[in-house]
Amino acid sequence: MGIVSPGFTGRRRSGPELPPGQYLTEDFPVLSAGPTPQIRPEHWEFTVTTETGEVHRWDWQAFTGLPQEQTVQDLHCVTRWSKLGTSWQGVSLDVLLEDVESAADYALVQCYGGYTTNLPVEDLLDGQAWIAHKFDGEDLAPEHGGPARLLVPHLYLWKSAKWVRGIVLSDTDEPGFWETVGYHEYGDPWREQRYAGD
């Protein structure tokens, strides 16, 4: 329920199209836990490791040679900004996971710089997730996760791991970086799943 704040009326910047507690921003804030890793595409690789330990590997050339998709998405950051209609190019996880033999329910995403985040495998499939490498038609800038980042726009942005390096599939759910320090396991912006237990 809560209380009324004496003398507060509010400016009401949040529109009806935004998840609860979010407000609109026009610029593109940067949030990460440490310095920005600088990874050259020629040194980049992406792996998918199954629960049986089988490793699938793509270098930059193989990755950019895969079928590409353009997608326009709304982004919602747990720090309360939302940015609407952002344009990306990347490879759908449906493509990357197509030939991967796995019955795993969970994915742990791993990044250059050591960041990790976890999510259910089903949230990566059916056109919901991409490994993106272009933003607004330009190569993705390092501070936004370049050369490539995960993009899972239906979850809070900390799940869309920057500087992505691989995905480990597993039968057990293992919390990632922010999930270990009190943030929500799943992170649905529309249900305001910000912190553990929300």
Binding site for ligand FAD (CB under 6 A): 13, 23-24, 79
Our finding on whether 15 is near another protein (CB under 8 A) is no
Of residues 19 through 38, those in contact with another protein by CB under 8 A are 21, 23, 25, 27, 29-37
25: helix, strand or coil: coil
- Spatial separation of the C-alpha atoms in residues 134 and 148, rounded to whole Å: 8
* Least Cβ distance, residue 94 to another protein (angstroms): 32
DSSP structure string for 137-177: TEEPPGGGTTT-EEE-TTS-GGGS-SSEEEEEEESS----H
Kindly tell me which residue out of 41, 51, 68, 77 binds another protein, with binding defined by CB under 8 A: 77
Spatial separation of the C-alpha atoms in residues 182 and 65, rounded to whole Å: 39
- State which amino acid sits at residue 102: S
36 binds, among another protein, ligand FAD, none (CB under 5 to 8 A by kind): another protein
d(CA 130, CA 63): 12
Cβ nearer to ligand FAD, comparing 27 with 98: 27
What distance in Å separates the CA atoms of residue 149 and residue 194, rounded to the nearest whole number? 21
Which of another protein, ligand FAD, none binds 5 (CB below 5-8 Å, type-dependent)?
another protein
Size of the site for another protein (CB under 8 A): 42
How many whole angstroms separate alpha carbon 178 and alpha carbon 115?
9
Using CB under 8 A, pick the residue from 6, 16, 53, 85 that binds another protein: 6
Cβ proximity to another protein: between 10 and 137 the closer is: 10
Site string for another protein, 135-174 (x = CB under 8 A): --------x-------------------------------
116: CB partners within 8 A, 6+ apart: 108, 109, 110, 161, 176, 177
For another protein, the binding residues (CB under 8 A) are: 2-13, 21, 23, 25, 27, 29-37, 77, 79-81, 113-114, 143, 177-178, 180-182, 194-198
